[in-house]
Amino acid sequence: MIDKACRTLAFARLWVAAFLSESAEWMLQIALPVLVYQQTGSMTSTATMMIVGLLPAVAVSPMAGVFADRWNKRVLLWTVCIGQALVAAPLLTANEATVLWLGYGVMAGQATVASVFEPTRNALVPELVGESGVNAANGLLGAGSNVARLVGASAGGTLFATGGLMITYTAYVCALILAVFTLLVPFARHRAADKPDQPMLRDWIEGMTVILRDRRIRVAGIVLALMTTAQGVFLVLFIPFVLDTLHGGANHVGLLRGVQAIGGLSGGVTIAVLARNMRPSSLLGCGAIGFGLLSAALWNGPQFSMPFGYYLALFTFIGFPAVVAVSGLMSVLQTTAAPALTGRVMGAAFAATALFTAIGMLLASIGTGWFGINSVLNAQAATYILAGLIGLTVLARSQHRKPTTVSNAAEDQVTP
């Protein structure tokens, strides 16, 4: 009973810290593009800033996994929060002449530092709750991420509109400081970090070599690539779908994106309460298929002249399977490799997420010109369904194999 209470308290502290950090990140992600657009009037500059905020994860996340495997994860997390506050400080000196380049630099710096947080946080989860608790923990983290999006994005927009950059930055820093205080006290239960007894690059190469020999991780990587490529397509085509296909306005864009958090919150709580004992591959498969089917219903609604309430309801519901799918995928990755490799698995996963999201954005812009927006959006829905089918079949068959370690890597070499 005491051990369970310690685990619950430790995870609660991690959840709060993650919520505060993500809320702060959303504040900056809303305020910075608005600032740049107001100062430059350029959509190109604004879009470039958003891409700058995405690309650092491709380069940094793999090495962040090495950090997580070698060092104390709790200390690494609060150090990242301090780093996030410091790299944004130059914004306070911005003026009309420097805002563009300072904005790019701060967005890139903030994204670089933040890229360490998520792999480390997700690598810490199985240490705090045990393998049996990862489904529930990931569901609650997914719910927290949706709440953070609502709170952080709303706060960022409101504070910047009413108080300007100084007030927004102050709130951003306060959230990060609170996250630091949440993580300062050591956890009662955690795995000791490995001693850094060899160069980091060699450590990363060795870990990736071992990981990629495991068929389960390779299949999970394919599923992740399919899902994040489809998500990249969605991010690009969602706005023209609402504005041009549905003939909505900017208020409809914000409303439809915002209500997804309602479904996401309910999905996370449902996993924690009702689906905590499901196989991770089943969560992944059912969530991805559900997301694909709801997406198809959304994209094809205009053919039947559906009212706006139809889209509002579907966008609300679609957050549910999205969180279920992502939680299942995280649980698969967290429980497949041995604890000593979890950081590198999560680091590679978040790097791949950023990379394939960018690829999906590129495919959306090219494919729409060739095939039209409706065909590309239907391909996006089909891609999610395909990812879910792979999760329910291939991953489910290999669920009970032992975790990948350096010692058993030779056995996995014969895996087809």
**Average pLDDT per block of 10 residues along the chain, 416 residues long:** 58 91 84 71 62 72 72 87 88 72 81 82 84 82 81 79 83 93 79 55 66 80 92 82 79 70 79 73 90 94 87 89 88 77 77 84 83 90 95 72 47 36
The answer to whether 74 touches 183, Cβ cutoff 8 Å, is: yes
Q: Give dist(CA 270, CA 183) in Å, integer.
A: 27
**By C-alpha distance, which of 10, 86, 31, 378 is closest to 230?**
378
Q: Give dist(CA 99, CA 90) in Å, integer.
A: 10
Examine domains 1-183 and 200-416 and report if their fold is the same: yes
Query: According to the model, what pLDDT value does residue 297 have?
Result: 94
Domain ranges, ordered by start, for the chain: 1-183, 200-416
> Sign of the C-alpha dihedral, residues 117, 351, 275, 317?
positive
Q: Give dist(CA 153, CA 292) in Å, integer.
A: 26
Query: According to the model, what pLDDT value does residue 221 have?
Result: 87
Query: According to the model, what pLDDT value does residue 412 have?
Result: 41
Sort residue 405 into left (φ over 0), alpha (ψ -120 to 50) or beta: beta
Query: According to the model, what pLDDT value does residue 416 have?
Result: 32
Q: Give dist(CA 399, CA 240) in Å, integer.
A: 40
Matching residue, tokens 């530092």? 113
Query: According to the model, what pLDDT value does residue 291 have?
Result: 94
Query: According to the model, what pLDDT value does residue 408 have?
Result: 45
Q: Which CATH class is domain 1-183?
A: mainly alpha
Q: Tell me the pTM.
A: 0.72
For domain 200-416, give the fold. Growth Hormone; Chain: A; (1.20.1250)
Q: Give dist(CA 363, CA 366) in Å, integer.
A: 5
Query: According to the model, what pLDDT value does residue 415 have?
Result: 34
What are 351's two structure tokens? 């790097």
